[in-house]
Structure 1
């Protein structure tokens, strides 16, 4: 499928928030200019207070393009605020969020649009790449099914809660109406999944397709690589998702979501990025408190390893970071081996 295969009846807006893109501007600009070349496709690009000349470079790259709206700000307000702002400027009935430093194309958008039909949300698939080689990537979202299918809002909500579908924006297409006004909470992380949950909660039908439409590349400046992860943002996102979608899930699914998304993820993120000891202590204590009300039998029925982690948080909280360091070290070694084998 090419960028010219977009159904003529659909209009779409690509939204990009950019800050200090540096040398990445030319590649991003080339991708975007190609993606907006078919009729009915436009883009909103917001420069979130870049200090490296990104705003000027973007203005020069997009000069004369009627399909790209560029907004430049002198100060940073954060990606959530800029996405909310861009939505207010969007002209398309369908919205695709992308990041400037990942791999995407107009062909990916065409695939999403060809699958939209009457659906309010499209769930596609995405890759996560952490290195240059073919073995340095893995699928991080979506369902490996031979044929696309349409599901209900209730089924989509349960996919979010049970972790089948994640909160990444870029592997999904949204009808503008179901996103509502300012769908992304103004927090430094985890605003994405709240926006996804709001869209799913408002959807009448969701289309699930097996196509990979995006490659997320881990960058040194990624918010997830912060040495002081915001567990309060994680807790706020957790509460918002359950408030929006929890009624569509069983009690066991909700407890499993809390165990995975909140308890385990908070400690895992702290371990992965080597936070200072006081931050680790605060994180483990918070996770232990969140784990105590959970029905561990119900969690074990869905994931025994996850239930075991919750037992550690209850009876010996300091042991969970130790166990996770060991598990992550083993995982990294296996990934490195796979990458070497793929290169040879």
Structure 2
């Protein structure tokens, strides 16, 4: 592994933002986009996916004729994956950064990513998750624990994605445009991000892990619903696509770990965390049990005792897994309210 100095000047980058119904945040968003567009070597591509709240007009007025910002508007709603594919086909920057309108990101995050892009196809930064205003209501959700930039080859990056060291979020990563190819995001309602990340890794030669936090995913009261049924078909499709794309790096033990973590546990945990109804939780349990049957518990246990315990429950007393997850999440939430700020992730089980 090698350390890499920052570039001067850094490579060109296109910032891609697919949005819909941004509401009152249109003014603030326009200002952020204008600041980005004034950075040398950066252009911005915004695609409105059929907004119906009047924000498309307001955003267009605030952006105006700003140099370096292309604003594409649609009357229909095709979904974020389709709009990102469309934007990618229009992009001209050597690298691509994807952002969402309601999160915390600035030109400094992009500068950190661009500054480490020389000689690699993928730069992986760190990202935080913030769900309230207090300091303890924040945790690390992506990024490897490195003290200095480290270079790895594509197979090593594939392992990190499969074992959960890095996650499938787009916005904590800078992609060489050619590594994404054409239409990297499948047209599914969720989980298309991780498929795009896997596709980029499969088409890359080298990646660079950096210690900087470049993005904060925001969930504030009212920003998302607390009752959400997981889309199990999208989850299965993404699972299958990722394993197919990273087949060369996916050893049997890694496949088992990825299936247990990303598919079995995530299906049930999402339903429990967001207070889905009983039918949705039962449906998630059925899917998880079906996929858990062929998994090797000993091989999973060598990598994660918590995930192995969850698979054991799925194989023996599946009805206990939602109970165990509720208890674990309640303890976790209580601990966050009383302890000092931490960047630890939620446990997998």
TM-score range, shorter chain: over 0.9
Q: Distance in 2 between matches of 1:222 and 1:77?
A: 21
Q: Distance in 1 between matches of 2:240 and 2:224?
A: 21
Q: How many residues align?
A: 337
Any idea what SS the aligned residue of 1:307 has?
Answer: helix
* Mean CA deviation greater in 242-251 or 253-262: 242-251
Query: 2:200 matched to which residue of 1?
Result: 199
* Mean CA deviation greater in 229-238 or 192-201: 229-238
1:70-219 to structure 2, matched below 5 A, reads: 70-219=71-220
Runs of 5+ consecutive residues of structure 2 not aligned to the other structure: 1-5, 343-349
Q: Distance in 1 between matches of 2:154 and 2:183?
A: 21
* Mean CA deviation greater in 81-90 or 248-257: 248-257
Q: Distance in 2 between matches of 1:11 and 1:227?
A: 38
2:289 maps to 1:258: no
Any idea what SS the aligned residue of 2:116 has?
Answer: helix
Query: 1:13 matched to which residue of 2?
Result: 14
The structure-2 alpha-carbon separation of the partners of 1:280 and 1:67, relative to structure 1 and needing over 3 Å to count, comes to: same
Query: 2:327 matched to which residue of 1?
Result: 326
Q: Which structure shows the bigger proportion of residues in helix conformation?
A: 1
The superposition leaves residues 234-293 of structure 1 with CA deviations (integer Å, 9 ceiling, x where unpaired) of 111111111111321321111011100000000000001111111211110110010000
Please state how far the C-alpha of 1:337 moved relative to its aligned partner: 2.0
Please state how far the C-alpha of 1:225 moved relative to its aligned partner: 5.1
Any idea what SS the aligned residue of 1:69 has?
Answer: strand
2:307 maps to 1:306: yes
Any idea what SS the aligned residue of 1:275 has?
Answer: coil
Q: Distance in 2 between matches of 1:204 and 1:340?
A: 37
Q: When the two structures are superposed, what TM-score results if normalisation uses the length of structure 1?
A: 0.94
2:281 maps to 1:280: yes
Runs of 5+ consecutive residues of structure 1 not aligned to the other structure: none
Q: Is contact 2:146-2:210 (8 Å) kept? A: yes
Q: Distance in 1 between matches of 2:93 and 2:220?
A: 30
The structure-2 alpha-carbon separation of the partners of 1:72 and 1:225, relative to structure 1 and needing over 3 Å to count, comes to: farther
Please state how far the C-alpha of 1:15 moved relative to its aligned partner: 0.4
Any idea what SS the aligned residue of 2:215 has?
Answer: strand
Query: 2:36 matched to which residue of 1?
Result: 35
Q: Is contact 2:10-2:117 (8 Å) kept? A: no
The superposition leaves residues 28-73 of structure 1 with CA deviations (integer Å, 9 ceiling, x where unpaired) of 1111111110222101101111111111011111111121111111
Q: When the two structures are superposed, what TM-score results if normalisation uses the length of structure 2?
A: 0.93
Q: Is contact 1:263-1:290 (8 Å) kept? A: yes
Query: 1:50 matched to which residue of 2?
Result: 51
Q: Distance in 2 between matches of 1:139 and 1:244?
A: 27
Q: Is contact 1:6-1:110 (8 Å) kept? A: no
